[in-house]
Amino acid sequence: MYKFKTFQCDLENFIPELKKLIQNNNDKIEQLLALKEKNYNNFVKEFEAMEEELELFITPLSHLNAVENSEQTQDIYSQMLPLITEYSTQLSQNIELYKAYKEILSNENEQLSYAQKRVLKLNIQEFELSGAHLDESTKARLQEINIALSELSNNFSQNLLDATNAYEYIITDEADLDGLPEHEKEVAKFEEDGVVKYKFTLQMPSYIAYMTYGKNEAIREELYRAYVSRAPQNAEIIDELLRLKQEMAQLLGFASYAEYSLAQKMAPDTKSVLVFLDKLLENSQTQAHKELETLEEFAEKKLKSHDTMFYSEALKKAHYDLDEEEFRPYFEQQSVIKGMFQFLEQLFGVEFKQCSLSLWNEKATAYDIFAEGSLCARLYLDLEARESKRGGAWMHNYEAHHKDTKGDTHLASAFVVCNFPASSKEHPSLLRHDDVVTLFHEMGHAIHHLLSKVDESEVSGVNGVEWDAVEYPSQFLENFAYEPEVLKLFAKHYKTGEILPDEMIAKLVKSKNFLSAMSMLRQLEFSLFDFKLHTKLHQGMEVQALLDTIREKTALIKPPSYNKFQNGFAHIFAGGYAAGYYSYKWAEVLSADTFYSVVDEGIFHSKMAQNYRKIILEGGGAKSMQELFVELMSREPDPQALLRLNGIV
């Protein structure tokens, strides 16, 4: 039986082992370049295998630093970054490698598979975007910039995590808990010196709980202020990141980092992105203003930023008779996982079986995935919040489906990480419906990687997929978390086993697009800020000035001056979304279009769903997503599907 890579990370010996591996790789590159007759099998496949081995070595450390963060992981991760960045930069700037790839593509073009051609073309593009063809002094400067960018991004992320963990608000007067559900009170409750107290933090489950239900406006404002003013030291990091990215783009021949970023995306140019976002903004503004009017009429006051979550929840409860807390008992974490797997089995014909493994945390679990009765992939889940874990939710690919140099098939594996309420012996982990949507979203990313049948690792699964298309499978899957027949697979009361009643499901579905235009404006604010920020160099107060200008159209409630949202915008300053946050909306057009094609056929009888698995999921990054989408739908994407999905007329 196939053996997956054992998850292990020897922290004590990590750096010496990494240095040894890098040296071995450099020696191997010299050997490959010395080959007189280079071809795809003896050169590209060998190079691919070498890079795969390095990736499998460093991924466990990256993962641990995110889910079991400690001073030791921070220290080793910080030591790793310059080593791996220097190695990667030198590799991507190696003119001889660049020439070898171009030569192989030219010589073997006729006999190569589509996936193999794509590997070569993407690598050639990567070499050119790394400056392989430039003079030595320029390449040296680009290497310095890459090392600095990786360190700055890591510092940004660590500052945010430290600031989040450092803050706590202690409540001793039970009157200040007015409005909070009993479940949330129990989670916050602790005893100190014989006195019962309640602790609220900036970790998502805790922060959202008080901002959504806490009636004490002064406490909501205090929590909000703490949240939006976290990590002020990141302002300097932002300036340096922007300066270095602009310099890098110009050294590579681009007018801006935004132009550089689009070279590897579906969107053809900067104008297309801005027109796309502005059109969505134009279509959403009228409805958003009406939604705010309704919300303020209900609240009987002009709302401030720290009011919106509280009054939105109250209006939802009044308007739809929908109380999020009433749903929690039906969304017990283990039941949701089991039902989600059952749904995926019915939709795509894949089966999940839990396997017993010793992992990084007792709450982490692993599942083997079978298709047509054969083992095809492994999934790792780590879903509960804890102090040592970075906030948010994400999927991270580990192994990629591919054939090695001997022709043996390797199977894919991936991690799905969330920050749901922690379970204990006394209390199960009861999710909000938003949490369920998040899990479906990340699972969409995971199966995109895990169900790939591409034989070249560099374009297998999520590898090689354009950044503005990578959210397509995740958004596609999350939409099903509102479908009644899907909900009934897992929405069962954790005590009685009762399936979520039809009238409650109807309320949930009806409320799906509650204040959706306001939500659309918020996402467009993030997207426009990110993209415009990278179209030219902004420094110091110019960053805030740009955000303020965008907010004149997108922020219906003017944020307070202490709101420094940008200092916590990890997606673009510590993740991979710089000049690419628009991707969520760009991909949402693809996902909404495909989703309705499946739903309109009938979810569990859909030929489109089967075709989606075969063309999109199994296809990975072996073709452009534009090509795959047209192959699936036999037409171009329809932007109207996105407005339909969001209930925007």
- List residues with catalytic annotation: 442
20/636 Cα distance (integer angstroms): 49
Q: Which of 596, 633, 586 lies closest to 612 in space, CA to CA? A: 633
H/E element, 330: none
Exposed/middle/buried for residue 182 (C-beta within 10 Å: 0-12, 13-18, 19+): exposed
Using CA atoms, how far residue 478 sits from 204, 383, 595, in Å, is 20, 16, 10
3/18 Cα distance (integer angstroms): 23
Tokens of 649: 């007329």
H/E element, 588: helix 583-601
Tokens of 290: 């009406």
Helix extents (H) in 7-110: 14-33, 45-67, 71-92, 95-108
647/643 Cα distance (integer angstroms): 6
Q: Are 88 and 21 within 8 A, CB to CB?
A: no
- Reported for 220-223, long-range contacts at CB under 8 A and 24+ positions apart, including other chains, are 220/306, 220/307, 220/310, 221/304, 221/306, 222/169, 223/169, 223/306
Exposed/middle/buried for residue 78 (C-beta within 10 Å: 0-12, 13-18, 19+): middle
Cα atoms in the 13 Å half-sphere on the side-chain side of 528: 24
Secondary structure letter of residue 236 according to DSSP? H
40/403 Cα distance (integer angstroms): 13
